[in-house]
Amino acid sequence: MKTYNGKNKRLILCVTGPMAAGKNAAAAILEKKGFACADADILAHQALEKVNDAVVTQFKKLAEEKNIQLTDVNGKIIRRNLGQLIFGSKELVEAHEKIIFPEINRLIEEFAEKNAATDIVINAAVLYKVPFIKKCDAVLYVDSPLIQRLFRARKRDGMPFSLILNRFKSQKNLFAKYKNSNADIRRVRNTGTLLNLEKKIDVFLKKLYED
């Protein structure tokens, strides 16, 4: 069995945090240390392909009413347009999640089974919304000051500050939501270099194995 500390017990971790805080960087550091990494965003794309028809059935009428093109010429959902349709509506987001989250959870379970002999990390913003969170040994919550996140997101995505702030607002109380899921959550602040972040992750892993 391939594990971070060489012991015959693998770790299952979730790496999460608000937008532009550095969770992707943290996941890459863990992957470099030997963890198998699954990106929930990529799995979400795969899941949407699986449930494409169900999502179209759910939202087609509303999209027509709002004059939003929900699908392309091949009948595949245009993700940006779907986001435009449901963003800002708690009810619509929940309706979408009821369709897609079971498939995302299935794909994560499948990934875990395929990598049963090694430590794994799930890089996900909202893993607390799916049952797999209960199988995680710990949650590494990567955070950084809002102003740093704002300019990182601006540089990375090129979006207007107003849109970025709306995305930030949609992730309000993310830490508390993980706490409410009874996850063993530990915060790491990403305020410096990648080397500094790696050192903090090493401390996180050491404490995790000592507990």
> Residues marked as binding for ATP?
20-25
Question: DSSP for 120-153?
Answer: EEEE-S-GGGSGGGGG-SEEEEEE--HHHHHHHH
Annotated binding site: 20-25
At residue 94, the 3 state secondary structure works out as: helix
Q: Which residues pair with 82 in a beta bridge?
A: none
User: Do residues 81 and 63 touch, judged by C-beta distance below 8 A?
Assistant: yes
3-state secondary structure of 78: coil
User: Between the CA of residue 169 and those of 11, 87, 166, 189, what are the distances in Å?
Assistant: 32, 12, 5, 19
CB contact burial 30-41 (16+ within 10 A = b; e otherwise): beeeebbbbebe
Residue 34 is given by DSSP the state T
Angstrom distance (rounded) from CA 176 to CA 119: 26
The DSSP element (H or E) to which 16 belongs, if any, is strand 12-16
